[in-house]
Structure formats: structure tokens, C-alpha cells
Amino acid sequence: MLERFMNKVSPEPNSGCWLWDAHVSKDGYGRFGVGRVAHEAHRISYKLFNGEIPKDMCVDHICKIRSCVNPNHLRLLTRSENSKNQINANSKKTHCKLGHDLIFNYGRRYCKICQSEASKRYRKRNIK
């Protein structure tokens, strides 16, 4: 299994990341089949090189590259710690994924342009 796993990895010399070359989910995580079940490739990498993952733990990417499977870039966190990391990372964002400025209003940040476009699409679909 290790050989088959490593055949799907491309080391990136500058960052040290091992980038996943095979199937990647829409969320950007590598997928690796074991038997008839697809698993997240970074979790398989952690198991292959570091051992079992305790039931209450998550595997976090220190490098923040979702397709990275380098076991030296992976660490175990509790679900609570992982959530806090996500909140901190998201709170630093200033632009939406299309590059528009995010606006802080009513206790949340959002993209006014994307929100307007989504509302137009919704009205077009649902108003007859």
C-alpha cells in the first residue's frame, strides 16, 4: 500500500510539501482508495508514517495546503483546536474567493457583490 500511495505523490522542492497527484475532492483534499472505500489522503499518510489516529483527533495541515500529504506537515489536534484554527484563519480574510472586498455588517463579514448576484439568481429561479 505504501508504494501505491507514494506513486501518487509529487514532492514540491521549495515548500517541502508532498502534493497529491491523484483524485482530489471538491474541497481540495486528496482521496486514496483502500479496498472499496476512498479516504482522505492526508489521514492515510499520517497513519502510514506516524501510526493510528485517536478517535477524538483531527489531522491538521501545518502548511495549510489541503493536497499536501507530507507526514512532517501533519499534526494531530482536537476537534476544538481545529475549529479555533479555522476561525482564526477565516477572521483574517479581507476578500471573497472572487477577489471582492468583504464588508462587516450585522456581526458578520460578507461580499456585497456576490450576495447581490446570488439574490438575483434566486429570484430568477423562484419568481414566476
What is the pLDDT at residue 76?
94
What is the pLDDT at residue 93?
74
Concatenated DSSP letters of 77-89: EEHHHHHHHHHHH
Give 95's contacts (C-beta < 8 A, 6+ positions apart).
Answer: 101, 102, 111
- CA-angle at 83, arms to 80 and 86, nearest 5°: 155
CA 47 to chain centre: 18
What is the pLDDT at residue 37?
92
Check pLDDT > 60 for residue 47. Answer: yes
Closest CA to 38 of 49, 57, 51, 22: 22
Q: How confident is the model at residue 46 (pLDDT cuts 50, 70, 90)?
A: very high
Query: Could you write out the three-class secondary structure of 22-38?
Result: CCECCCCCEEEEECCEE
Distance between CA atoms of residues 71 and 48, nearest Å: 9
pTM higher than the cut 0.85: no
What is the pLDDT at residue 70?
96
71-127: pLDDT as tens digits = 999 999 988 887 777 655 666 678 887 888 888 877 777 888 988 888 998 888 887
Which of residues 103 and 45 earns the better pLDDT score? 45
Distance between CA atoms of residues 61 and 28, nearest Å: 12
What is the set of domains in the chain, with CATH numbers? Answer: 2-92 (3.90.75.20), 93-128 (no CATH)
- Burial (CB count <10 Å: 0-12, 13-18, 19+), residue 57: middle
